[in-house]
Copies of this chain bind each other. A is one copy, B any other.
């Protein structure tokens, strides 16, 4: 590894302590599906929920709106958005481009230790699925993906990808257990690990892209079924 000639490295302090805390707390709740699409979030509600004043609560909500994890349904009303098919398609396109890139870049930093880590994570996914712990399965799936992407060494890229996951995560946690049960990822994950072992960038990209595409088809199908059911039940 080369030594960077001028790595000034901007200080990674953590100002805005309460606001940052509120943001991460709410982000976590959203990813875990604590709020259903359509749920209204107000500054004062968040402020009470997290026992902070309105200022950090406002900071958190504003930032989540910027991320697209929350959305204005009126001038003074932010809600958890209903993900439309067009949104899902746009996000999927971006995921293919960005996560494909991250996967391709990851192979050069792959080591035996990282391979082992990935094997372990995949075992956790399989185990969780066997025991019908669907939530854990999805969680470990995320860890698996980001363990690979982290190898790219591109922090900003990782940040953008994480925001994309946040956007779909908030809306698609309602898809249990059909979505998790499909095990669509296992084969693609095996292929990804194999590609890392052989340091084959193109294969790694292909494996991740397949995984994303398979997931997209699943989501689309399940979501369409739901809509159908909701429609006919009216």
Contact (Cβ within 8 A) A75 B13: yes
| A57 at the binding interface (Cβ < 8 Å) | no
Contact (Cβ within 8 A) B91 A156: yes
Flag A65-94 by CB within 8 Å of B: 1 or 0 each. Answer: 010100111111000011010110011011
Contact (Cβ within 8 A) B15 A75: yes
| A206 at the binding interface (Cβ < 8 Å) | no
A72 and B15 in contact (CB under 8 A), knowing A10-B81, A62-B59?
Answer: yes
What are 22 A-to-B residue pairs whose CB atoms are below 8 Å?
A: A7-B84, A8-B82, A8-B84, A10-B72, A11-B73, A12-B72, A13-B72, A13-B74, A15-B76, A59-B62, A62-B63, A63-B66, A90-B154, A93-B101, A93-B105, A93-B154, A94-B154, A94-B156, A94-B160, A97-B98, A97-B101, A98-B98
Binding site for B on A (CB under 8 A): 4, 6-8, 10-13, 15-16, 59, 62-63, 66, 68, 71-76, 81-82, 84, 86-87, 90-91, 93-94, 97-98, 100-101, 105, 154-157, 160
- Residues of chain B within 8 A (CB-CB) of A66 are 63, 66
